[in-house]
């Protein structure tokens, strides 16, 4: 078949290019589950550029795909069998995809060998999790101590229309003109647009070392393959560590329209900003949408106020249109962070001072029992309620696009969510607006993976 390359070999050029024999042996001895995860994530990288958002379809289409590690005295080699032809030009793997393939090896197999065989990471305590996230990012050379603050994290959906995509690209262009780098979830849509715009803006300003950081996790990479602009890819072990990586690295955050995944990210950040220990935190948050389509943030703002109270709305600014104004706010936010960290002698590269509640750090397992047991009521501190809301949206994302969640729904039917009537009614309106506007899936008719007790 001409859409498959039968066999190819590649060597590392950036990640994993200097390993000892013992380190290579530890990679070869990785657990079968780790090998399966590596195969799935590697296939997602090789399938970059696809707009398919169903990981099961991808695995079935390339069911004969194999990737094998071949340690040699002069270094590691990968043998790739039956890979997507789109990853190659005239039989040679595209350099950016080759680099990302070894990024996957570094973050999946290498990390798991350190965790499982050597027990080097503490994932039971808040301090241990924070240290783990830092060490994964440092190992990926993403933490740049020599850089002044200039990293803007952009969140938003992969299932957006052309108007919203072009808007995110215009904002990215204005950020690039102002010398700002971009980190996103690495996929398409609102994750690709800001990077593509920033690349053009950097080009106009003759900035040759622009950074386009893609931060993802194994459960979602197959449905959000890295876009072609990503030049630094990091795969964190789970969604919670992925989100922590974003906020620890960010000097400013912009949110574009999305769906349940974007709502989850917003709830996560509000859960941090609303915590009393972060009362003096300097991290600005901007919601940005095209002037012609303000509905997403109008609905999200309405939900936040209904569920969390009017006070929660002070943590973000909503901007319609005005790409240059969004970029100016981002630049201002970055400069505010720089001044504060300089005054307090804090790290420019990593936000160690940010307190992340443990309920936002430990993985939420979205099975039916855990989803039904979420405490979605107002008789608790706001930062705890918002953490539960984050878990609810995380489960909906899993039911929509993650292999585990899709299988759960297939076996046991929709997730059941219940809570305060006002919160449930507000969530129902929000989720219905996502379905109405086609924000849950890229293709096909959407069948809800959840039921709300109203």
pLDDT of residue 308: 93
Please answer whether residues 333 and 247 qualify as being in contact, where contact means their C-beta atoms are separated by less than 8 angstroms: no
Distance of alpha carbon 263 from alpha carbon 268, whole angstroms: 9
Instruction: Out of 120, 150, 182, pick the residue that ends a domain.
Output: 120
Residue among 225, 228, 288 nearest 253 (CA): 288
pLDDT at 443 over 80: no
pLDDT of residue 372: 94
Two tokens at 5? 């390359």
- Name the percent of the chain lying above pLDDT 70: 91
| Same domain flag for 232 and 155 | yes
| Same domain flag for 233 and 293 | yes
| Same domain flag for 194 and 330 | yes
| Same domain flag for 93 and 239 | no
Query: Which domain CATH number covers 107?
Result: 3.30.1850.10
C-alpha 323: how far from chain center:
23
Residue 267 lies in a domain: yes
Q: ∠ CA(179), CA(224), CA(238), 5° rounding?
A: 90
Residue among 177, 164, 167, 180 nearest 212 (CA): 180
pLDDT at 109 over 60: yes
Distance of alpha carbon 350 from alpha carbon 186, whole angstroms: 20
- Please, which residues bridge with residue 416 across strands? 451
Q: What is the DSSP letter of 118?
A: T
| Domain count along the chain | 3
Backbone φ and ψ for 345, nearest 5 degrees, come out as 60, 40
pLDDT at 106 over 80: yes
Residue 349 lies in a domain: no
pLDDT band at residue 68, thresholds of 50, 70 and 90?
confident
pLDDT at 184 over 60: yes
pLDDT band at residue 21, thresholds of 50, 70 and 90?
low
| Same domain flag for 140 and 276 | yes
pLDDT at 2 over 70: no
Distance of alpha carbon 154 from alpha carbon 181, whole angstroms: 10
Residue 53 lies in a domain: yes
Residue 256 lies in a domain: yes
Q: What is the pLDDT of the chain when averaged over all its residues?
A: 89
Tell me which residue range forms the domain holding 253: 135-344
| Same domain flag for 321 and 410 | no
| Same domain flag for 115 and 242 | no
- Write the pLDDT tens digit of every residue in 297-309: 999 999 999 999 9
Residue 307 exposed, middle or buried by CB count within 10 Å (0-12, 13-18, 19+): buried
Instruction: Out of 320, 344, 368, pick the residue that ends a domain.
Output: 344
| Same domain flag for 109 and 151 | no
| Same domain flag for 153 and 302 | yes
72 vs 315 pLDDT, higher one: 315
106 vs 121 pLDDT, higher one: 106
| Same domain flag for 62 and 103 | yes
Tell me how far CA of residue 57 lies from CA of 62, 84, 403, in angstroms.
Answer: 9, 13, 10
- Write the pLDDT tens digit of every residue in 213-235: 999 998 788 777 888 899 999 99
Query: Which domain CATH number covers 264?
Result: 3.40.50.450
Instruction: Out of 297, 315, 344, pick the residue that ends a domain.
Output: 344
Residue among 149, 171, 153, 435 nearest 319 (CA): 171
Distance of alpha carbon 147 from alpha carbon 164, whole angstroms: 31
190 vs 122 pLDDT, higher one: 190
DSSP string, 396-412: HHHHHH-HHHHHHHHHH
Instruction: Give the number of other CB atoms < 10 A from CB of residue 29.
Output: 11
Backbone φ and ψ for 4, nearest 5 degrees, come out as -130, 135
371 conformational bin, left if phi > 0, alpha if psi -120 to 50, beta if neither: alpha
Residue 130 lies in a domain: no
Two tokens at 88? 């190659």
Distance of alpha carbon 174 from alpha carbon 327, whole angstroms: 6
pTM score of the predicted model: 0.90
Pairing label, strands 181-184, 151-155: parallel
| Same domain flag for 54 and 112 | yes
Instruction: Give the number of other CB atoms < 10 A from CB of residue 112.
Output: 20
Distance of alpha carbon 159 from alpha carbon 428, whole angstroms: 20
pLDDT at 117 over 90: no
pLDDT at 433 over 60: yes
pLDDT of residue 18: 64
Distance of alpha carbon 413 from alpha carbon 449, whole angstroms: 7
Residue 129 lies in a domain: no
Residue 351 lies in a domain: no
DSSP string, 357-376: -GGGTSPP---HHHHHT--B
| Same domain flag for 156 and 256 | yes
Residue 128 lies in a domain: no
- Write the pLDDT tens digit of every residue in 318-372: 999 999 999 999 999 999 999 999 999 999 999 999 999 988 999 899 999 999 9
- Write the pLDDT tens digit of every residue in 267-301: 999 999 999 999 888 899 999 999 999 999 999 99
């Amino acid at each position: 078949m001409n859409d498959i390359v039968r066999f190819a070999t590649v060597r590392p050029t950036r990640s994993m290019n200097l390993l000892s024999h013992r380190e290579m042996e530890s990679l070869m001895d990785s657990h079968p589950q780790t090998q399966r995860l590596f195969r799935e994530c590697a296939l997602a990288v090789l399938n970059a550029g696809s707009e398919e958002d169903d990981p099961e379809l991808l695995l079935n289409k390339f069911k004969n795909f194999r990737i094998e590690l071949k340690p040699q005295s002069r270094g590691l080699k990968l043998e790739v069998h039956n890979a997507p032809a789109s990853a190659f030009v005239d039989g040679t793997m595209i350099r950016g995809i080759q680099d990302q393939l070894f990024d996957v090896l570094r973050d999946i197999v290498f990390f798991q060998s350190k965790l499982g065989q050597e027990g080097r990471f503490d994932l039971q305590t808040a301090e241990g999790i924070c240290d783990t996230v830092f060490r994964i990012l440092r190992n990926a050379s993403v933490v740049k101590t020599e850089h002044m603050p200039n990293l803007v994290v952009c969140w938003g959906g992969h299932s957006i229309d052309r108007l919203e995509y072009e808007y995110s690209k215009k904002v990215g262009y204005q950020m690039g003109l102002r010398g700002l780098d971009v980190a996103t979830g690495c996929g398409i849509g609102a994750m690709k647009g800001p990077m593509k715009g920033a690349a053009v803006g950097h080009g106009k300003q003759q900035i040759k070392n622009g950074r386009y950081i893609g931060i993802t996790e194994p459960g979602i990479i197959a449905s959000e393959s890295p876009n072609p602009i990503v030049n630094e890819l990091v795969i964190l072990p789970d969604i919670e560590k992925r989100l922590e990586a974003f906020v620890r690295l960010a000097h400013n955050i912009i949110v574009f329209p999305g769906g349940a995944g974007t709502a989850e990210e917003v709830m996560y950040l509000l859960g941090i900003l609303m915590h009393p220990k972060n009362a003096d935190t300097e991290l600005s948050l901007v919601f940005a949408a095209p002037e012609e389509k303000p509905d997403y943030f109008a609905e999200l703002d309405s939900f936040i106020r209904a569920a969390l109270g009017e006070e929660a709305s002070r943590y973000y600014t909503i901007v319609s249109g005005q790409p240059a104004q969004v970029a100016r706010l981002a630049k201002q936010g970055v400069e505010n962070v720089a001044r504060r960290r300089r005054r307090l002698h804090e790290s420019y590269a990593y936000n160690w001072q940010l307190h992340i509640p443990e309920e936002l750090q430990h993985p939420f397992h979205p099975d039916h029992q855990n989803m039904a047991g979420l405490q979605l009521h107002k008789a608790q501190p706001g930062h705890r309620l918002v953490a539960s809301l984050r878990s609810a949206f995380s489960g909906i994302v899993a039911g929509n696009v993650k292999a585990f969640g899709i299988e759960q729904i297939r076996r046991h039917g929709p997730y059941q969510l219940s809570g305060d009537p006002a919160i449930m009614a507000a969530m129902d309106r929000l989720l219905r607006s996502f379905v109405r506007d086609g924000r849950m899936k890229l293709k096909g008719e959407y069948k809800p993976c959840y039921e709300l007790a109203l």
